[in-house]
Structure 1
Amino acid sequence: MSDKKFITDSGIVIKQVYDQPVEMTEQPGQFPFTRGVHAAMYRDRLWTMRQYAGFSTAEESNKRYHYLLSQGVMGLSVAFDLPTQIGYDSDHAMSEGEVGKVGVAIDSLEDMERLFADIQLQDISTSMTINATGFILLAFYIALAKKQGADIKKISGTIQNDILKEYAARGTYIYPPEPSMRIITDIFEYCSKEVPKWNTISISGYHIREAGSNAVQELAFTLANGKAYLQAAIAKGLDINVFAQRLSFFFNAHNNLFEEVAKFRAARRMWAHITKELGATDPKAQMLRFHTQTGGSTLTAQQPQNNIVRVAIQAMAAVMGGTQSLHTNGYDEALSLPTEEAATIALRTQQIVAFESGITQTADPLAGSFFVESLTNEMEAAAQKLMDKIDVMGGAVKAIEQGFIQDEIARSAYTYNKEIEDGSKIIVGVNKFTSKEMSDTPVFKIDDSIRQVQMEKLQQLRGKRDAAKAAASLEAIKQCALGTENLMPAVIEAVENLCTLGEIADTLRGVWGEYKG
């Protein structure tokens, strides 16, 4: 026997051999869904292949969407720029230097119309990575669908809408936690009646992991946030068997293939028990459905083509773990937004896994592996221990307010980076197998002149709209916020009257203030 110790980033000790027999009684598609949410999994239907894209203006992003659709993408994923994420129009002073940089600038319904020009919303599934202003972007999307003549009861997609992880890990929040949770439950309520195919929240572990957590922490903190959303919706009087069917999750996939597979399997099992304990009896309300993105923080600027291999391993982990949707990162994303070439290679990676690897031919291909089954159990036990601590504190909101989750993530990030610095953790091309040659990878750049383009559009919009209708719409939003009426109908009416994202966000700032952290 070797004396050498192997420990995952989550602190789980890996034994030299796993030889305990594993009794397999559960089947895919059956509670608690450890082995997958569908009986046949990818034998019947592949996961949705998405590519996360959005940059510059709506017109430029629209060109990339048409290109990706022509290459075989099955659903669109929209990245928004920082001002859009935190509720500022492109002409606001706070937007300077950020317009169109990390995503597309969307200030109005007209921008949304340009973004989806010649794309019928009823025919595609769209995922929007947006949180604090998610309700406004959803209103833009619904208003555009109506304008296209779509039946909004048939449009499908997802808004991330996960504000708790913003307080804990990412920082693009606007309002304090309590009114933010009110917005989220208003979205649950509105969509359950009006847009029943829409996934009203994508509870995100992705950004928790990107902030430095390990896999166990990602699992525990994500499910704790999910539990808080369930409890908030139940407190509002919503039926868990209805709204929980439209909840989805968003996880990260890193390089430790078996730990990642075990994480996904444990997540389904744990969520099934959480929902059941809170009163869910419909199997569809007990299922954890999730989107995966390969790990952005694992990509290196050194020897960037190595990232193609990393992304392939991470994509395989997501598929063997049973994901419903997948985005694969471009190999150049440690340097810039992905070029068309990098985006195409990332998509081809998914297609090769789907059609050439054989992984999709059976449900839960690693089931029964002594190693994977043991690791699944260990991941669950470690995550449950963390969740129990959070429950004692009073739940995820209280744990965030007390700084517990933030401190745990920071501690994990410090340990990970220290191990890279001292060489105990090897990152190929960074601290071992390095090269002095400089990378000549092409870099995708966004010009600062984009802001001027957006400012001119805003000036034209404000000049042609009915100012009285716009003002009345903003006042209606204010009155809703002061009372208990659902916000979504008023926000949809406001965007149809060409109120801007910043104007709507500012109206609510006037009622609720801003959260300073």
Structure 2
Amino acid sequence: MDNESLKLKVAEYTAKVEKASAKFPERKNLEYNRLYTPLDLEGQDYERDLGLPGSYPFTRGVQPTMYRGRFWTMRMYAGFSTAEESNKRYRYLLESGGTGLSCAFDLPTQIGYDSDDIISEGEVGKVGVAIDSLADMEILFDQIDLGKVSTSMTINAPASVLLAMYIAVAEKNGIGPEKLNGTIQNDILKEYAARGTYIFPPKPSMRLITNIFEYCSKNVPNWNTISISGYHIREAGSTAAQEIAFTIADGIAYCEAAIKAGLDVDAFAGRLSFFWNAHNNVLEEVAKFRASRRVWAKIMKERFGAKNPKSWMLRVHTQTAGSMLTAQQPDNNVVRVALQTAAAVMGGTQSLHTNSKDEALALPTEASVRVALRTQQIVAYESGLADVVDPLAGSYYVEAMTNQIEAEALKYIQKIDDIGGAVVAIEEGYIQREIQDSAYKWQKEVENNDRVIVGVNKFQIEEKPVEGLLRVDASVGELQKKKLADLRAKRDNAAVTAALAKLEAACGDDSVNLMPIILEAVKTYATLGEICGVMRKVFGEYQAHATL
């Protein structure tokens, strides 16, 4: 059937449906067309817009065979209480079939304070593991072969310090940095825009990031030096298109900063990675993954002139949407996570963390973590979704939605370019306002019952309080204080003082790469708070501006 004939058929269909809709109205707030046909793909060129898997523009995936040879890395985000307790959880996850670790750090660690700092009171070990020094890191990875496991660390402002600790632990176990595989999040721009665990102002923060790029390109070549994160942007309330637009705009800013610092784009771009959210709308999410790869490939090739195909690849870690889990009827979250897992796999993720059903209530129990991991394994081994590369390619809906999300994202990126780039757009509050507006719209739809959340605004039941939740004992803070006191009594404090003085001097000289000096300080058992305290003294602290 030619397009003109199809247009007539679609017009007839639409008239018939509109007449029927008068009697049986369609649901409100449906964002997309009711029907997609070849008419929605007019002008699409297969080679230009899709290509083959493993080839530019990577719409269909960054690997030629995707999961037919090797499944995605199955990570489980974990960390709570002390290094000893988290080490037990990590070893349990690896023994249960996990193929990578994903480390959660407590709030004081994320903002560069030691557990015995007054500002840390009541927060030690609560939302992640407390890491105060190399001694804690040694315990955290005790009996885990860092030469074989891939480790992701959700750490941003003090990422250089935690990476240095990881390198030092590996070296103490006879594993050179060239053998290490993993990722540090190291994405400060999204902290300013959406999450809030920042320490330093943008300029020194960008210096630390580019220092890591340079150091790892020479010394830790298999390490992903940044995980440019849309996950938290989406958790804050953005749309799918905003998630990839604002994240890729951040990626552009990091590339520009690295190039300005004298790095060749092909020397660092291949170790950049991204971090997407797997939200509830399965097909929209698949389209989002596909669109993001195409956008990034074009930007790296056309805007930055990258020549190595690895520099064009958007490699992505994914986490299922924590914000979509409900405290009401938490067993329903198992279904939500399964659908989000399917979306990430059909979208072509390179690694995946699945949330546990009880995470809307507390840190997950061992039993609920096992169910979350088994969700990935069932999708991998039983669903058939991993058997075919890019299984939804050619779907009129998915292809049209891929094009639409790409167009919306590019429009946002152009707007951010016009403002002056991601840093300026954040400083002026533009990105924050866009996220806030989207979050407000979503919440109003839920409150007006225009958007159904099962168990929350529809299909409610009387529920008993959930039992058996994981609680972190308040004594953890006192234990960490004691460990710090013992450490300071036993270490060579003269060596610590000298290392910190050297770091302070280096912070004042923009031409110096700080990573080797931070690594030297870490090896003297200088604490996280002491190292970040020196950088606070020189760099100052970032103060967020209100967005109206």
Q: Take 1:430 and 1:458, find their aligned partners in 2: how far apart are those partners?
A: 44
The letter for the 1-side match of 2:145 is Q
Relative to structure 1, the CA distance from residue 295 to residue 7 in structure 2 (aligned partners, 3 Å threshold; closer, same or farther) is farther
Which of these residues, 253, 266, 281, is aligned with residue 228 of structure 1? Answer: 253
Is residue 18 of structure 2 the alignment partner of residue 18 of structure 1?
no
Letter matched to residue 57 of structure 1: T
Tell me if the contact between 1:332 and 1:441 (Cα under 8 Å) persists in the aligned partners. Answer: no
Give 3-state SS (helix, strand or coil) of 2:277's partner: strand
Contact 2:29 2:451 in 1 (8 A): no
Task: Give the residue type in structure 1 aligned to 2:427.
Answer: E
Cα distance in 2, alignment partners of residues 7 and 344 from structure 1:
38
Given the alignment of the two structures, is residue 490 of structure 1 paired with residue 517 of structure 2, yes or no? yes
Tell me what 2:479 maps to. 453
**What is the aligned partner in structure 2 of residue 188 from structure 1?**
213
Residue type matched to 1:83 in 2? P
Residue number among 398, 422, 427 corresponding to 1:372 in the alignment: 398
Q: Does 1:43 align with 2:68?
A: yes
CA distance in 2, matches of 1:306, 1:168: 31
Question: For the residues of structure 1 that align with 2:419 and 2:45, how far apart are their CA atoms?
Answer: 36
From the CA coordinates, give the structure whose radius of gyration is larger.
2
- Aligned pair in 2 of structure 1 residues 435, 196: CA closer, same or farther (>3 Å)? same
Counterpart AA for 1:435: I
Percent identity between matched residues is 61
The correspondence for 1:138, drawn from 153, 163, 175, is: 163
Aligned-pair CA distance for 1:16: 2.7
Matches for 1:19-418 after TM superposition, within 5 Å? 19-20=38-39, 24-25=46-47, 26-276=51-301, 277-418=303-444
> How big is the shift at 1:409?
0.7
Query: 1:214 offset after TM fit, Å?
Result: 1.2
Offset, 1:436: 1.4
- The one-letter code sitting in structure 1 at the alignment partner of 2:530 is E
> What SS class does the counterpart of residue 257 from structure 2 fall into?
helix
Cα distance change on mapping 1:199 and 1:6 into 2, 3 Å: farther
Distance apart, 1:216 and its partner CA:
1.0
Secondary structure in 2 matching 1:326? strand
Q: Deviations over 1:255-305 (max 9, x none)?
A: 100110000000000000111121111000110000000000000000000
> Would the aligned equivalents of 1:6 and 1:15 in 2 still touch at CA under 8 Å?
no
Alignment partner of 2:464: what SS?
A: coil
1:156 & 1:8 partners in 2: Cα distance? 44
Q: 1:7 offset after TM fit, Å?
A: 8.1
Mapped partners of 1:431, 1:303: distance in 2: 12
Structure 2 residue matching 1:150: 3-state secondary structure: coil
Aligned partners of 1:8 and 1:14 also within 8 Å:
no
Q: Take 2:418 and 2:323, find their aligned partners in 1: how far apart are those partners?
A: 32
User: Is the 1:7–1:13 Cα contact (8 Å) retained in structure 2?
Assistant: no
Q: Which amino acid aligns with 1:470?
A: V
| 1:446-497 CA distance string (max 9 Å, x none) | 0110011000110011111111110010011111110020000000000100
In structure 1, what is the Cα distance between the partners aligned to 2:100 and 2:384? Answer: 23
Question: In 2, Cα distance between the equivalents of 1:244 and 1:359?
Answer: 30
Number of equivalenced pairs: 515
Matches within 5 A, 1:473-488: 473-483=499-509, 484-488=511-515
- Contact 1:302–1:439 (Cα < 8 Å) also in 2: no
CA distance in 1, matches of 2:190, 2:27: 31
Give CA-to-partner distance per residue, 1:315-370, whole Å, 9 cap, x none.
00000000000000000000000001110000000000000000111110000111
Structure 2 residue identity aligned to 1:16:
L
Corresponding residue number in structure 1 for 2:532: 505
Aligned to 2:14: none
Gaps of 5+ in 2: 1-16
Deviations 1:18-72 (A, max 9, x none): 3436764411111010000011111111100000000000000000011101100
For 2:273 and 2:518, how far apart are their aligned partners in 1?
24
TM-score, with structure 2 as normaliser: 0.92
- Cα offset, 1:312, TM superposition: 0.3
Where 1:126 maps in the other structure, the secondary structure is strand
CA contact (8 A) 1:303 1:439 kept: no
Consecutive unaligned residues of structure 1, counting only runs of 5 or more, are none
Q: Given residue 197 of structure 2, which amino acid in structure 1 is its aligned partner?
A: T
Shift of 1:137: 0.2
More displaced 10-residue stretch of structure 1: 476-485 or 418-427: 476-485
Provide TM-score, normalisation by structure 1: 0.98
Residue type of the alignment partner of 2:165: F
Give distance in 2, aligned partners of 1:439 and 1:387.
Answer: 45
Q: Secondary structure at the match of 2:178?
A: coil
- The alpha carbon displacement at 1:429 in A equals 0.4
User: Which amino acid is 1:330 matched to?
Assistant: S
Structure 1 residue 242: Cα displacement = 1.6
Query: Cα offset for 1:14?
Result: 2.6
DSSP-derived class of the 1:122 partner? coil
- CA deviation map 1:389-426 (0-9, x unaligned): 10000100000000000011111111100100000000
Alpha-carbon distance in structure 2 between the residues aligned to 1:356 and 1:183: 44
What is the CA–CA distance in structure 2 between the aligned matches of 1:258 and 1:447, rounded to whole Å?
42
Residues 151 and 183, structure 2, Cα contact 8 Å, conserved in 1: yes
Distance 1:242 1:475, change over 3 A: same
Distance (Å, rounded) in 1 between the aligned partners of 2:28 and 2:455: 22
In structure 1, give the amino acid aligned to 2:76. Q
1:132-166 CA-to-partner distances (Å, cap 9, x unmatched) read: 01100000000111111102111110000000000
* In 2: Cα distance, 1:175 partner to 1:478 partner: 15
8 Å CA contact 1:299–1:307 kept in 2: the answer is yes
> 1: distance between equivalents of 2:260 and 2:298?
19
CA deviation map 1:106-134 (0-9, x unaligned)? 00000000000111111110000000011
- Tell me, yes or no, if the aligned pair for 2:237 and 2:438 is still in contact at 8 Å: yes
